[in-house]
Amino acid sequence: MATIYEVSKLAGVSLATVSRVMNNNTPVKESTRRKVLDAMAQLDYRPNSIAQSLASNRSNSIGVLVSELHGPFYGAMLTGIEAEFRAAGKHVIITAGHSDLATEQDGIDFLQSRNCDALILHVEAVSDDYLLQLAAGDTPFVLLNRHIPAIADRCISLNNELGGYLATRHLLQQGHRQIAYIAGPMWKTDARDRYHGHQRALAEYQLTADPALFFEGDFRETGGSKGLESLLQSGKTFSALVCANDEMASGAITAARELGLNIPQQLSVMGYDNVNFAYYTYPKLSTIDYPISAMGQMAARWVLREVYQQESNEVQQLFEPVLISRDSVLAAT
Amino acid sequence: MATIYEVSKLAGVSLATVSRVMNNNTPVKESTRRKVLDAMAQLDYRPNSIAQSLASNRSNSIGVLVSELHGPFYGAMLTGIEAEFRAAGKHVIITAGHSDLATEQDGIDFLQSRNCDALILHVEAVSDDYLLQLAAGDTPFVLLNRHIPAIADRCISLNNELGGYLATRHLLQQGHRQIAYIAGPMWKTDARDRYHGHQRALAEYQLTADPALFFEGDFRETGGSKGLESLLQSGKTFSALVCANDEMASGAITAARELGLNIPQQLSVMGYDNVNFAYYTYPKLSTIDYPISAMGQMAARWVLREVYQQESNEVQQLFEPVLISRDSVLAAT
DNA sequence: TTGTAAGCGTTATCAA
DNA sequence: TTGATAACGCTTACAA
C-alpha cells in the first residue's frame, strides 16, 4: 500500500503538498495539483484513515448504541442512521446495550475508547445523572427516544404520552369502557409515558385504570401472550386491550386466538410503534405510528451539524405520534 | 485525557514498560506492574485505540456488510456477529449493500479504507470473480450465505437446495400435487438454490414444476401478496404454495385472507427461514429453519481464529436446514 | 526485567 | 504557493 511519502516523491513535491491536495483546504497551484493527483492514481494511493485520525484527532466514526440489533424497531432505526452517515462518508460502529445497566455503560466506554467523534445513544438502563455527567465530558452525543430537560438540545424524542393517550382515546371513542392494558417494563421511561397517556384518556371519560386489568410485559411477543392469559384469569371482563408495543400486541392476538377469542369481535386490540409487520398480522393491527427511521436519520443529522459543521441539514427533535386505524379494533356493541 | 507518557512518569517507569503491562506480552516484575496499574487507575488512563492501531497495524475492528440493516433475518445475523466480537473486545463497523452492485463494491471499499482487520460479507450482487480477486488481496474476509468452491474455506453457508427440497417434500407427503411457488429474485443464488430443491422434490414424485404456478417475488411481504394474486389469476388451481421466505409467506397469507381463501383449509403455505415472527402469524407458519444467528456467530469465530489467532473456537461452516411443521399446512383432501 | 529510540502515516504550524 | 519538521500516542526491536 502506497503512502503519502511515495506519492510526494513520485510527484516531486513535499508531503505537506500532497496532504493539501487531499484535503483541499489550502490553495495549491493547479499544475501541482495535477501532478499529485496523477501520482496518486498511478500508485493507487489510499489514505490511511487510522493515521489521519491520529494526526487530526478525528476518527470520522460515530458510535451507535442500541438496545438490540434485531427486532423491527431497532432495524428501522439503524437503517435511518446508517443511510445518512454513509452518504456523508462517515461510518458507524454499532453495539448493543441489552437494556442492562452494566452492558450499556460498558458499551459507552467501549465506543469512547474507539475515539468516536460522536455517539448516538438509545439507552434505557443508564440514569439521567449518568448522562448529565457524560454531557459534561467532551464526547458529543445525542439521545434517541429519551427526553432529559437539562440537555433537551441533545434529545430526539417522540411524545410517548400523547401516543398512549391517542391509543386509548381511540378505543373509548369506539365505545369501549373496560380496557385492559399490557405495559412495557415500567422502569423504562417510554413504557411509563405511554401508560400515563392511557390514564389521561381514561380520565377524560371519568374512568380510572383498574389494577386488575393491568399487566406489566416485556415489550416482546411472549410478554403479550402471557399478559393476555393473566388478564383473562383475573376474572374481570374487558372488551378492549391496549398493548404498549406491536410485538406484545401480536403475541396477545396469537394467544387470544388459541383461547378461542375472536379478534376484534370479542376483543379489540391496539398496538404501538407501527412496525413493519403490523400490516401483516391478522387482523391488521391498529396502532400508533412511531417514525423511528426518520428519528434515526435526524439523530445522524444532528451529529453532522453539531460535530461536523454541516449546516445544510434541518434537524427535527420532537416528533408526534399518529393514530393508525386498521382492523384490530371494532366498535363496542 | 491522560497518555501513556503521563502514566510512565507517574509510575516512574518507561513508556515501554507501561505498554508491556497493558498488553502483557512480556514479563514484568509484579511490583512494577502494580505501580503502573496504580498510576493508570489514578489518572483514569484509557489507551488511545487509534494510536494503538497505527503503531501495531491492527485496528481491532471488523467490517460487516449486509444487504439491509432491518428485517428479521439480518437482525438475527447481526446480533450473532456482534455478541461474539463484543465479548472479544473487537468492534464492528456495519454498512449496508442493498443487494446492489455499486453499493456493495462501494461498501467493501469503504470498509477497507477504514483499515478493518477482516470483513464479514453478506453480498449478493457482486460476482464470484470479484470475490476471488478480493481473496487475492490482503484483507481477510468470510462470506456468509454464499458458497464459492474455490474459496470454500472462507464460506459459511446453508444448504439452501436441501431446504427447498424439504419444504416441497413436506407438502407432497401431505398429499399435495398442485404446488405453486413464489421465488425470491432469481438472480440471487439462494433463491435459485431453493427453487432447485423444489424441483428435485417434485421430480421424486414424477412431477415437474408448472411455469403457470411460478412467480418471482422480491423476498418481501409485498412480493408474497402480489405473487398470490398473480398465481390465482392464472386460472390454474393449486392446493399448496411454497414461498421462498417467511416474509413473502406472510404477505401471501394476508392477501389470501383478503380474497376470502381459508388458510390452511383451502391453501397450505410453507415459508422459509423461520424468522422470529413466524410463530406469531396466523396460522402459525410451517417453515424451514435457517440458523442465521448461529451462522453469524460462526463467521465471527472464523475471524477470531483466522485473523486473531484465537484457536479456542470451533467453527462450523456448513449448516443444514430443518423442517419446522406448524399450522399453515394441512393434508390434502 | 527494564529502558531507549525508531517507527506507524498522517496533519498542521512555521517559515520561506 | 510551497517545504521542513514537529507533533499525534502508541508498539516493538534492540540494548542494557
> CA A56 – C1' D2 distance (Å)?
21
Q: Which pLDDT score, from 0 to 100, does residue B24 have?
A: 86
Q: Which pLDDT score, from 0 to 100, does residue B80 have?
A: 93
* B243 CB within 8 Å of a chain A CB: no
Report the C-alpha gap between A191 and A227 in whole angstroms. Answer: 15
Q: Quote the percentage of chain B above a pLDDT of 70.
A: 100
Does the pLDDT value for residue B208 go beyond 90? yes
Q: Which three cell numbers stand for residue A261?
A: 377469542
Asked whether the beta carbons of B142 and B305 are under 8 A apart, the reply is no
Mapping DSSP onto H, E and C, the string for B217-270 reads: CCCCHHHHHHHHHHHHHCCCCCCEEEECCHHHHHHHHHHHHHCCCCCCCCCEEE
Does the pLDDT value for residue B303 go beyond 80? yes
Mean model confidence pLDDT for chain B: 94
Q: Which pLDDT score, from 0 to 100, does residue A59 have?
A: 87
Q: Find, among B104, B112, B132, the residue nearest to B188 by Cα.
A: B104
The second-level CATH assignment, the architecture, of A61-159+292-320 is 3-Layer(aba) Sandwich (3.40)
Does the pLDDT value for residue B312 go beyond 80? no
Q: Which pLDDT score, from 0 to 100, does residue B280 have?
A: 85
Sign of CA dihedral A113, A117, A120, A124: positive
> CA A207 – C1' C16 distance (Å)?
83
* B46 CB within 8 Å of a chain A CB: yes
Report the C-alpha gap between B47 and B54 in whole angstroms. Answer: 13
* A83 CB within 8 Å of a chain B CB: yes
Fold classification of B4-47 is: 434 Repressor (Amino-terminal Domain) (1.10.260)
**Closest approach of chain B CAs to the CA of A114, in angstroms?**
6
Asked whether the beta carbons of B301 and B84 are under 8 A apart, the reply is yes
Residues of chain A with pLDDT under 70: none
The second-level CATH assignment, the architecture, of A160-290 is 3-Layer(aba) Sandwich (3.40)
- The model's pTM is 0.90
Q: Mean pLDDT throughout B171-184?
A: 98
Q: Dump pLDDT digits (tens) for B86-138.
A: 888 888 989 999 999 999 998 998 888 888 999 999 999 999 999 999 999 88
Check CB contact under 8 Å for A114 and B61: yes
Q: Which pLDDT score, from 0 to 100, does residue A146 have?
A: 94
Strand partners, A268: A240
Q: Which of A77, A243, A269, A280 to mutate to test the interface with B (most CBs of B within 10 A)?
A: A280
> CA A52 – C1' D14 distance (Å)?
29
Q: Which pLDDT score, from 0 to 100, does residue B276 have?
A: 86
Q: Mean pLDDT throughout B239-264?
A: 96
Does the pLDDT value for residue B306 go beyond 80? yes
Residues of chain B within CATH 1.10.260.40 domain(s) are 4-47
**Residue A176 three-state SS:** coil
Report the C-alpha gap between A18 and A9 in whole angstroms. Answer: 10
Residues of chain B within CATH 3.40.50.2300 domain(s) are 61-159+292-320, 160-290
Asked whether the beta carbons of B2 and B44 are under 8 A apart, the reply is yes
Q: Which of A83, A95, A277 sits opposite B91 (nearest CB)?
A: A95
Q: Which of A54, A70, A94 sits opposite B76 (nearest CB)?
A: A70
Q: Which of B47, B50, B254 sits opposite A54 (nearest CB)?
A: B50
Asked whether the beta carbons of B126 and B105 are under 8 A apart, the reply is yes
Q: Which residues does chain B have within 8 Å of residue A53's beta carbon, measured at their own beta carbons?
A: 50
Q: Which pLDDT score, from 0 to 100, does residue B333 have?
A: 84
Least confident of A120-124, B68-72, B153-157, B203-207: B68-72
Q: Dump pLDDT digits (tens) for B141-164.
A: 999 999 999 999 999 999 999 999
Inter-axis angle of helices A221-233 and A246-258, to 10 degrees? 50
